[in-house]
Amino acid sequence: MVFSSIPFLFFFFPIFLIFYYIMPKRWKNYILLLFSLVFYAWGEPVYILLMIFASAVDYGNGLLMTKFGDTKKKRKIFLLFSVFINLSMLGFFKYADFFIETINQIGNLSIKPLGLGLPIGISFFTFQTMSYSIDLYKKEVEVEKNYFTYLTYVSMFPQLIAGPIVRFSTVREELHHREITRDGFSDGLLRFMQGLFKKVLIANNMGALWENIRGLSYGTISVTTAWLGAISFTLQLYFDFSAYSDMAIGMGKMLGFHYLENFNYPLIAKSVTDFWRRWHISLSTWFRDYIYIPLGGNRVGIGKHLRNIAVVWFLTGLWHGAAWNFILWGVYYGILLTLEKYVWGKKLAKLPAFFQHIYAIWIVVFGFTIFVFDDMGKLGEYLTFLFGIAKNPIFGTEILYYLMNYGVLLIVAVLLSAPIYPWLQKKIEQIQTKRKKDVIKAICAVCYIALFLLTTAYLVGDTYNPFLYFRF
């Protein structure tokens, strides 16, 4: 079950909300927990036991760390145990077959892969449980004594399978005491619908364009069409990922939780550094706080700083998937961030904003071309299309077809990747007369209803609706 589906929108979520709101406060966590377990078991009936096991280990480990960890050395023992268990689970289910296949290729062996299915969201909930243990070790958060409360935190369906990565410290107080208000529900509902529209109407259509282009035969794809494909995938990825974060944040507000923002218009970035301050913020800050800074961050010599960047970006690439292209993608960004830091970053900052933006976008689009192909042979082939190495033409008639069919949507996607909506909100807030505000609110309400009906029509029609988080 995914958020952008008829069963979730018209059955699961409305039924959940009814039970959630009619129950007294002391029962709300249990209702949220029950429905979260049902939500996860809908697609992962067996692996739900894995998530419960992971949460039980870190919950118990947290109690032991608090009771017996009177010194930093003792707390480290419990921390290492937590990290070992979580990374072992993640490594076994997500990377075992990747390592086996790599060994087979290197050693010309024929070890049979395990063929394990990847538990959905395992990369997210293992990182959440590890952050809890690490924060306890550093005494930055109080231990949770109620297991069901802790399990509710780990399993919350609004953000379990697609992020953002929510740290226990962010929601601890709200797990025990939260206010559910009419304004919070209204704001949350609007935010959820924004994410739903982005996912179904923009991301899915950009994905359909990308699938059409990548499916073209070797001799029929021009350089411009290949770049159009790379751009369409970049837009699909941004609107898909940010849409799920929007929906998670929106549902959180409807339930009384306040998750941190996860995307801040990354496609308006003026550098690679700026891009990663805006893209998947919960993940980049996780690696910064729990890997980069403990290694010494940038408060070390150049040699160690280069090592720290290399380690973080190798792990960032590997986190995204068990394939060599993800590692290459991570290394790619590690090198570029290093070059910005030590070679051309200051010169770049002196250029006009337009050229800074073009530089950043080109790097991002090319980077996501690496990201999308887990088959290195197909990646190499597509790169020959991008740069005309395959002796393919610069222009082809096929690009006119795609621009005629997707041109308007491409323009809308590009515009909405910029902070137009916050700008409009600010302008509306500046309106002084109540009558004008009421008229604008009425128009917005009509637009939301129309977009929701259009979204529903798309979903009922069983159109292209991929779930990109299966690899996480």
Q: Check if 320 is active-site.
A: yes
Blockwise average pLDDT, block size 10, the chain, 472 residues: 90 95 93 94 83 92 88 89 93 91 86 85 90 93 94 93 88 92 92 95 94 82 94 96 95 95 95 96 95 93 94 95 94 96 92 95 96 92 90 88 94 94 82 77 88 90 75 67
**Which amino acid does the sequence have at 94?**
K
State whether 246 and 380 are in the same domain.
Answer: yes
pLDDT value at residue 472: 66
Provide the domain limits for residue 134: 6-178
| 164 domain residue, yes or no | yes
State whether 189 and 167 are in the same domain.
Answer: no
State whether 246 and 168 are in the same domain.
Answer: no
State whether 174 and 103 are in the same domain.
Answer: yes
pLDDT value at residue 32: 96
| 327 domain residue, yes or no | yes
State whether 286 and 151 are in the same domain.
Answer: no
Residue 294 backbone phi and psi in degrees, to 5: -60, -30
Total domain count for the chain?
2
Q: Does 352 sit behind a cis peptide bond, omega within 30 degrees of 0 on the bond before it?
A: no
- Between CA 97 and CA 339 the distance in angstroms is 34
Q: Which of 418, 439, 464 is the last residue of a domain?
A: 418
**DSSP symbols for 451-466:** HHHHHHHHHHTT----
- Between CA 252 and CA 273 the distance in angstroms is 29
**Which amino acid does the sequence have at 96?**
A
CB atoms within 10 A of CB 169: 13
State whether 172 and 223 are in the same domain.
Answer: no
Task: Give whole-number Cα distances, 223 to 213, 218, 390, 408, 410, in Å.
Answer: 11, 12, 9, 21, 18
State whether 173 and 253 are in the same domain.
Answer: no
| 465 domain residue, yes or no | no
State whether 157 and 27 are in the same domain.
Answer: yes
Catalytic position from the list 177, 280, 320, 357: 320
| 464 domain residue, yes or no | no
State whether 140 and 52 are in the same domain.
Answer: yes
Let me know the angle formed at the C-alpha of 21 by 18 and 23, rounded to the nearest 5 degrees.
Answer: 105
